Structure 1
Amino acid sequence: MALPPLATAADLRDAGATGTDAALDLALRRASARVRRYTRQDITFVENDTITLPGGGKVLWLPQYPLVVDGAHPLTVVEIADFSGVEWDAIENRDYSRIGNELTRGYPWQAPTRLMGWPWNRAQGVWAPKIRVTYSHGYAEVPEDIVDVVLDLATMNLANPENLRQISIDDYQRTFASETIGSAALTRDHKDALRPFRRPVFSVVTP
């Protein structure tokens, strides 16, 4: 699924950038891709995303922030056993508790017996080996700090589309910033602004 740019062409023009519609769109898509790659986040709102995560611990971290759970966007969590493929629906406030994007596995809601089959014989208070989660995540409105970085990157791309180091015309000479050569790259200031939105590396298996 292609995600939309994190800012609009109108925003980019308001920031002082000039160019054709196609050039503005390309600059925004390239800048948005760099921001998403650095933060490891989709950022824009995504509904009913299904992923499979490795379990085996007490806490399960959902990789995309922020988690959105309401009547229109339920959170579905299914534990999957090794080898047998037996599945078990985990219910919030019965099998696990949720704080932010952290799902903490609780103890069985009733005493397990051999008649229950799996997960009778697995460690208590620990997630199954694999977890399939369907959830909605992201921002309905992109945070301003992210928009600012995207616009800055896109403007840098537009300022030096041919990746030149220096231009000389008669007595006029212009030297481009190194960040704009080879397409605009995130600066240290950009990374500082994006750090609150960045997540650690997770292992995710797409279904």
Structure 2
Amino acid sequence: MLAIILPIIAVLIGLTFAVIFKPAVNNGIKLLLSFSGAFLLSVVIFEFLPEVYSSNNSNIGIFIMLGLLIQIILEFGSKGAEHGHVHHKDEGTFPILLFISLCLHSLIEGFPLAENQDLLYGVIVHKIPIAVILSAFLLNSKMSTIQTSIFLIIFACMTPLGAFLKTQSSLLETYSSEVNALVVGVLLHVSTTILFESSKNHQFNATKLGVILIGIIIAYFL
């Protein structure tokens, strides 16, 4: 049940924050994004990756790399919105590629959440700043209110849909270890990209380093 409710709440929190504070991508959001990237990466490495490899499936590494490749392909459409970048030049039209890419990403990341509560928390923490940035972008665009609402409602429901499908599909359950490895690859790409891009011009930033360390420590003791 938490895997169904919490991802939707995370998007609603991001939307509410964007409506009330109308944030640009300021330092506060960037720090939250850095924390979420460190937290998500740490949960994947400390909890999810050992679980995936415990299946003794010899193809796990292949599916992790496949997940990385899938995320790279998705970012041709999303332009990196999964890790805090939203670029859409034609503001008058519905950003269909961004929409499809983000929905597919959210669907995939939702698959293991019903069976892994620690990963659920990692995805939720990651989703909040992304939802803030995405909501702010949509609200500032020339899209209609109806288009914006459709985008956010479907985006909010895709991760719970992934969790639901995993519990209901015998095919996904049969190939659970491969599916989970695929998700590992997707999340590794997103979380590491957030951390690599967290410092402007790769300059040392003590505040961001502190936030990243906090994210890692909290994930370790989770």
- TM bucket (normalised to shorter chain) is under 0.3
- Structure with the higher strand share, 1 or 2: 1
Structure ID, larger Rg: 1
Larger relative contact order (CA 8 Å, sep ≥ 6): 2
Q: Which has the higher helix share?
A: 2
TM-score relative to the length of structure 1: 0.23
Q: What TM-score, normalized by structure 2, do the two folds share? A: 0.22
